């Protein structure tokens, strides 16, 4: 049986087999076992079979064979024959495929291409009635010819234009259209279409605007945007289209659909950018006339922007390669009506359309230096007079805003002194106005009433831009501006509004990039001079000054000077009496500035160490021992800030230096004669106890490899020290000091404790837990110690399971249950001292692990727990969840949600707050999970907003935020039954004594109100 026959039999059942048959024949031909003639003859009678499918398969077979042949095998004649053969039978399925293969061959020539093309036109008049798959194949053949044999088709000239447009007309399928658009675009761009512009235009424009919505899971992945941009390329392809394109596009601007309008505007932009200058020029004014409405009567901000882009595109096109400001150029003609219109709008500067007018001018101004020149010449003089004559501030501000917009385009055209723009021949048309601009903006900023904030803000913006504009102001003028900015920052400001100050600081920062010297010479002294030498009693102006200085110290040497000056100033201040706020602020500033830089590489590091760590610390110690005057440094809050500063510096020290620090952790760089460390002493005075805050900070900065030692009583053993710290912690009642001691405990158990020492400490923990569970009276301190020891160990995942096990058991104990429950909130809570950057050992999986161990146990115990201790489990849970990432909580959410709901019934505001926080996250991350519980959730949250009751303002506020999350996230059908309950339940909160609670309540109600009832009418 011949290959053909077998092919016919197998092709249905087994494609591969069929393939191989074709291949076999191909090999036959190549190895000359049989000739092409034989191969074709072998098709025999099938070729004329009445059954179309048989014919199709035979042709298909042939095409397969051709496809299998090596590209160079067939001779021109053979191709010629086959091409003829297939063209005759082009309507039989497979022929098109065959031709696609043929035309890919090197020896396929112009005439064959033409023949194929003609055959297509002749046989596929009825293209649209054929199935899409076939249409696509035909179009792809055409596309192939277009790309490989373009000249052939091009030579057919009009015949091909008409032919193609007829062939593709009426197509609807997006896949086909993608091909058609690209074919047509080639014709539009490369053929001479002068005689057929309208035909071609209509052929594509009939699809405008594209309203195609791809099916949900569209396998071809063709988006509306793909079609839109290809269609747009066609419409913009040739200037010949202008007479049809622009009028019709302008019509379509009246569409009510924002999407259509957007498409139209972008198409206009595309046309304006690609059509020839003369063409665009012919329509430029008409386009302006209709585009202006989109901007002036802005409905959708986005559309206004698009329209501005279109207007700009026209200006760019008309201005391309143009460097003459001659008023007779197309560009000038285009701009004239625009500047006229804008000038009119600017007569009423505080009316709605003035702002858009400014945007138009700015957008055009940026188009090119020439447009900028023309715009400025046409607008700025009038603007100046208007400004001079303007009587009220609102008007002046509006005008100034327009000026600012123009200055923006100036910067776009000429750049700043740091980022220059491409050079241009056209001189900056603003030059003649330089002095007046500088003067009027300076005056507006400095000489108008202090409470005219918004006006002065605009003025400041104008002044800054003048400074930034390249090759505009002289340095001395910029210097003046800098002075103005300084004064603005430092001036008293009655209107409790700091917008202006903030803007001024920002301006100075911007200038410090391009003119650091000016900042150093002018701003810096001015600011320093403003800092008082002694704590002022009430006013807190120094804060603004300090903030300013801190922000300005980006430049390294600026910062260096600042740090030095501040330290000196601190010494002076400490010599005086007065509130501690000021020295604290100075320390905070230092912390900020030092925090900004990489201390490891800082050459001054050692001096910081000397002055701050050693200097101030020892000073505190001495004072506490009565060896020096007590200052605000000895107050706990100050100590904490100083401590943070110390930690930061110590961290940066090299190992060697750190060792010396480690030795001084408790002696604080003072010899025993003058200060005795407080450890292993009974009832050291309060003042000295508070130095432990610094000890903690130093210890925190020391890296783990440097073991901490103690000057006194040479006891190296950590356990001993730990025991001592535990003793101190349990009897300490000054919160900050106690916290410092507890953190030391944490640092020891987590950071400095060696693996082999842990067992001993765990044993110690056992005793502590035991003591706690038996403790009578207030167990808080005992609990604190237990949980800090535990925290240190758990974070490094040392014997976590058994430790947690013990802690969980505490929940069942009446006396210490609640205290312990609260402790769970501590375990994985972030801590500024026990942190990674301080070298604490915090394993990645800690949170996950704590969660996995505790939550199931809590959920379980809770059921059996007696009423007295039930709440302990809920408290513990909320504490754990408080610091759990959502991805850890989510998988377990179904199990814990019921508990969370119940914990909302507790009195404890903290627990409620934490729980609500969790619920909020849950409902945000994964609303599905709460869907089943909406009912009880709603009712409980409504309880949490009641006032006056146990709910803190914070709880009320967060409960409302949580409630507000549901609409939009949870299905309406689930929520609607509760709509009324919620909106009514919130009635009273609308009268809450706290403003921000009321605000939240209003928003929450609005969210629920806006859920639509299924409207029956």
| One residue of 109, 350, 483, 939 binding another protein per CB under 8 A | 350
Q: Scan for tokens 């000091």, then name that residue.
A: 737
| One residue of 739, 750, 773, 915 binding another protein per CB under 8 A | 739
Assess 972 for contact with another protein (CB under 8 A).
no
- Please state, in angstroms and rounded to a whole number, the distance separating the CA atoms of residues 490 and 492: 7
Measured in whole angstroms, how far is the alpha carbon of residue 338 from the centre of its chain?
A: 37
Assess 254 for contact with another protein (CB under 8 A).
yes
> Could you tell me the smallest distance in angstroms from the CB atom of residue 997 to another protein?
9
Which three-class secondary structure string do you get for 521-590?
A: HHHHHHHHHHCCCCCCCCCCHHHHHHHHHHHHCCCHHHHHHHHHHHHHHHHHHHCCCCCCHHHHHHHHHH
Nearer to another protein, 18 or 505 (CB): 505
| One residue of 187, 203, 298, 652 binding another protein per CB under 8 A | 298
- Please state, in angstroms and rounded to a whole number, the distance separating the CA atoms of residues 929 and 940: 17
Q: Scan for tokens 């039954």, then name that residue.
A: 977
Query: Which pair of structure tokens corresponds to residue 318?
Result: 């008309």
| One residue of 54, 162, 224, 394 binding another protein per CB under 8 A | 394
The one-character DSSP state at 420 is: B
Assess 538 for contact with another protein (CB under 8 A).
no
> Could you tell me the smallest distance in angstroms from the CB atom of residue 776 to another protein?
17
Of 187-226, binders to another protein (CB under 8 A) are: none
Query: Do 397 and 355 form a contact (C-beta atoms < 8 A)?
Result: no
> Could you tell me the smallest distance in angstroms from the CB atom of residue 995 to another protein?
4
Assess 1016 for contact with another protein (CB under 8 A).
yes
Assess 769 for contact with another protein (CB under 8 A).
no
- Please state, in angstroms and rounded to a whole number, the distance separating the CA atoms of residues 739 and 733: 10
Mask for 550-569, x = binds another protein (CB under 8 A): xx------------------
Of 475-514, binders to another protein (CB under 8 A) are: 494-499
> Could you tell me the smallest distance in angstroms from the CB atom of residue 309 to another protein?
19
Please, what is the Cα angle at 699 between 695 and 701, to 5 degrees?
A: 125
Nearer to another protein, 528 or 581 (CB): 581
> Could you tell me the smallest distance in angstroms from the CB atom of residue 547 to another protein?
4
| One residue of 198, 892, 910, 931 binding another protein per CB under 8 A | 910
* Binding segment (CB under 8 A) for another protein, from list 35-43, 327-335, 609-617, 777-785: 777-785
Is residue 449 classed exposed, middle or buried when 0-12, 13-18 and 19+ CB atoms within 10 A define those classes? exposed
Assess 1014 for contact with another protein (CB under 8 A).
no
Nearer to another protein, 215 or 735 (CB): 735
> Could you tell me the smallest distance in angstroms from the CB atom of residue 94 to another protein?
55
| One residue of 13, 216, 993, 1014 binding another protein per CB under 8 A | 993
* Binding segment (CB under 8 A) for another protein, from list 20-28, 80-88, 290-298, 461-469: 290-298
Assess 600 for contact with another protein (CB under 8 A).
no
> Could you tell me the smallest distance in angstroms from the CB atom of residue 865 to another protein?
20
Q: Scan for tokens 């996995």, then name that residue.
A: 852
Of 127-186, binders to another protein (CB under 8 A) are: none
Q: What is the dihedral of CA 563, 564, 565, 567, to 10 degrees?
A: 80
Query: Do 472 and 434 form a contact (C-beta atoms < 8 A)?
Result: yes
The one-character DSSP state at 210 is: P
Query: Which pair of structure tokens corresponds to residue 388?
Result: 């001079």
- Please state, in angstroms and rounded to a whole number, the distance separating the CA atoms of residues 606 and 596: 17
Query: Do 558 and 523 form a contact (C-beta atoms < 8 A)?
Result: no
Number of chain residues interacting with another protein (CB under 8 A): 99
Of 847-886, binders to another protein (CB under 8 A) are: 879
> Could you tell me the smallest distance in angstroms from the CB atom of residue 322 to another protein?
34
Locate all alpha helices (DSSP H) within 597-683, ordered by sequence: 605-608, 617-624, 636-652, 655-663
- Please state, in angstroms and rounded to a whole number, the distance separating the CA atoms of residues 365 and 11: 68
| One residue of 103, 589, 903, 918 binding another protein per CB under 8 A | 589
* Binding segment (CB under 8 A) for another protein, from list 105-113, 465-473, 524-532, 586-594: 586-594
Q: For the chain, first and last CA: distance in Å?
A: 74
| One residue of 37, 829, 868, 886 binding another protein per CB under 8 A | 829
- Please state, in angstroms and rounded to a whole number, the distance separating the CA atoms of residues 139 and 169: 12
Nearer to another protein, 144 or 640 (CB): 640
Please, what is the Cα angle at 688 between 682 and 690, to 5 degrees?
A: 110
> Could you tell me the smallest distance in angstroms from the CB atom of residue 95 to another protein?
54
Nearer to another protein, 550 or 810 (CB): 550
- Please state, in angstroms and rounded to a whole number, the distance separating the CA atoms of residues 796 and 775: 28
Cα–Cα nearest to 876, from 844, 915, 831: 915
Of 913-952, binders to another protein (CB under 8 A) are: 913, 920, 924, 948, 952
Assess 57 for contact with another protein (CB under 8 A).
no
Nearer to another protein, 860 or 990 (CB): 990
Of 425-464, binders to another protein (CB under 8 A) are: 453-454, 457
- Alpha carbons within 13 A on the beta-carbon side of 37: 1
Of 805-824, binders to another protein (CB under 8 A) are: 819, 822-823
Query: Which pair of structure tokens corresponds to residue 80?
Result: 């010629």
| One residue of 584, 796, 841, 940 binding another protein per CB under 8 A | 584
């Amino acid at each position: 049986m011949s290959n053909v026959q077998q092919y016919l039999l197998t092709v249905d059942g087994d494609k591969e087999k069929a393939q191989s048959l074709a291949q076999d024949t191909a090999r036959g031909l190549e190895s000359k076992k049989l000739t092409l003639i034989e191969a074709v003859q072998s098709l025999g009678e099938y070729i004329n079979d009445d059954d179309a499918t048989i014919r199709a398969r035979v042709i298909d077979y042939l095409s397969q064979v051709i496809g299998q042949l090596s590209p160079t095998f067939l001779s021109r004649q053979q191709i010629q024959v086959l091409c003829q053969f297939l063209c005759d039978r082009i309507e039989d399925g497979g022929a098109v495929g065959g031709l696609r293969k043929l035309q890919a061959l090197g020896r396929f020539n112009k005439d064959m291409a033409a023949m194929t093309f003609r055959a297509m036109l002749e046989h596929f008049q009825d293209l649209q009635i054929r199935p899409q798959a076939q249409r696509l194949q035909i179009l792809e053949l055409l596309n192939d010819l277009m790309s490989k044999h373009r000249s052939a088709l091009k030579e057919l000239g009009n015949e091909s234009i008409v032919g193609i447009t007829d062939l593709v007309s009426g197509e609807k399928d997006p896949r086909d259209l993608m091909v058609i658009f690209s074919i047509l675009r080639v014709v539009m761009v490369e053929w001479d279409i002068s005689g057929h512009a309208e035909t071609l235009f209509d052929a594509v424009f009939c699809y405008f605007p594209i309203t195609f919505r791809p099916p949900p899971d569209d396998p071809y992945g063709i988006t509306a945007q793909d079609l839109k941009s290809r269609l747009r390329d066609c419409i913009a392809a040739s200037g010949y289209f202008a007479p049809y394109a622009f009028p019709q596009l302008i019509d379509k601007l009246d569409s009510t659909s924002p999407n259509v309008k957007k498409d139209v505007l972008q198409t206009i932009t595309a046309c304006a950018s690609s059509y020839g200058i003369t063409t665009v020029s012919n329509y430029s004014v008409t386009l302006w006339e209709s585009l202006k409405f989109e901007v002036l009567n802005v409905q959708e901000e986005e559309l206004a922007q698009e329209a501005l882009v279109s207007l700009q595109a026209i200006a760019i096109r008309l201005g391309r390669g143009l460097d003459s400001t001659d008023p007779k150029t197309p560009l000038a003609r285009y701009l004239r009506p625009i500047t006229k219109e804008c000038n009119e709008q600017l007569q009423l500067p505080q009316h709605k359309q003035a702002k858009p007018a400014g945007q138009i001018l700015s957008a055009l101004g940026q188009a090119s230096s020439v447009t900028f020149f023309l715009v400025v010449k046409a607008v700025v003089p009038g603007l100046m007079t208007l400004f001079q004559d303007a009587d009220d501030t609102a008007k002046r501000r509006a005008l100034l805003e327009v000026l600012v917009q123009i200055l923006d385009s100036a910067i776009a055209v000429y750049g700043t002194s740091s980022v220059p723009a491409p050079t241009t021949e056209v001189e900056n048309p603003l030059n003649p106005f330089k002095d007046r601009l500088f003067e009027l903006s300076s005056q507006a900023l400095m000489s108008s009433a202090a409470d005219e904030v918004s006006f002065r803000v605009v003025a400041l913006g104008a002044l800054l831009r003048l400074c930034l504009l390249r090759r505009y102001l002289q340095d001395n003028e910029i210097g003046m501006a800098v002075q103005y900015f300084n004064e603005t920052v430092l001036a008293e400001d009655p209107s409790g509004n700091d917008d202006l100050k903030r803007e001024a600081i920002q301006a100075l920062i911007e200038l410090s990039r391009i003119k650091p010297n000016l900042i150093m010479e002018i701003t810096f002294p001015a600011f320093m001079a403003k800092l008082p030498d002694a704590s002022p009693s009430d006013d807190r102006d120094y804060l603004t000054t300090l903030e300013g200085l801190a922000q300005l110290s980006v430049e390294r040497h600026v910062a260096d000077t600042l740090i030095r000056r501040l330290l000196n100033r601190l010494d002076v201040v400490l010599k005086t009496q007065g509130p501690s706020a000021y020295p604290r602020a100075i320390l905070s500033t230092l912390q900020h500035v030092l925090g900004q830089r990489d201390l490891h590489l800082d050459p001054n590091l050692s001096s910081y160490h000397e002055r701050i760590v050693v200097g101030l610390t020892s000073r505190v110690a001495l004072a506490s021992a009565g060896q020096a005057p007590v200052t605000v440094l000895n107050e706990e809050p100050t100590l904490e800030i100083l401590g943070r500063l110390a930690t930061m510096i110590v961290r940066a020290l090299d190992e060697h230096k750190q060792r010396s620090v480690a030795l001084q952790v408790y002696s604080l760089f003072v010899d025993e004669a003058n200060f005795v460390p407080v450890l292993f002493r009974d009832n050291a005075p309060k003042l000295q106890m508070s130095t432990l805050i610094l000890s903690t900070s130093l210890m925190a900065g020391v890296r783990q490899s440097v073991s901490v030692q103690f000057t006194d009583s040479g006891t190296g053993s950590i356990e001993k020290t730990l025991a001592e710290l535990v003793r101190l912690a349990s009897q300490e009642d000054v919160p900050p000091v106690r916290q410092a001691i507890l953190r030391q405990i944490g640092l020891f158990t987590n950071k400095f404790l060696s693996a082999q020492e842990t067992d001993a400490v765990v044993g110690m923990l056992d005793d502590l837990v035991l003591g706690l569970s038996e403790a009578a009276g207030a167990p808080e301190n005992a609990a604190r110690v237990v949980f800090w020891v535990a925290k240190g160990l758990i974070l490094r995942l040392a014997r976590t399971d058994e430790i947690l096990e013990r802690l969980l058991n505490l929940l069942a104990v009446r006396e210490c249950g609640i205290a312990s429950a609260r402790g769970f909130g501590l375990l994985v809570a972030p801590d500024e001292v026990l942190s990674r950057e301080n070298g604490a050992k915090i394993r990645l999986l800690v949170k996950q692990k704590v969660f996995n161990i505790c939550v199931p146990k809590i959920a379980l115990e809770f059921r059996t727990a007696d009423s007295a201790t039930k709440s302990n489990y809920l408290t513990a849970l909320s504490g754990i969840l408080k610091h759990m990432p959502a991805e850890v909580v989510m998988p377990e959410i179904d199990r814990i949600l019921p508990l969370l709901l119940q914990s909302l019934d507790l009195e404890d505001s903290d627990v409620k707050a934490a729980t609500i926080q969790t619920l909020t996250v849950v409902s945000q991350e994964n609303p599905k999970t709460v869907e089943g519980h909406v009912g009880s959730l709603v009712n409980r949250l409504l309880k949490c907003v009641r006032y006056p009751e146990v709910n803190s303002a914070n709880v009320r506020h967060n409960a409302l935020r949580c409630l507000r999350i549901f609409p939009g996230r949870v299905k309406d059908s689930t929520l609607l039954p509760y709509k009324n309950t919620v909106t009514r339940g919130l009635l009273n909160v609308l009268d809450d004594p706290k403003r921000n609670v009321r605000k939240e309540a209003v928003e929450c109600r609005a969210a629920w109100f806006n859920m639509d009832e299924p409207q029956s009418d």
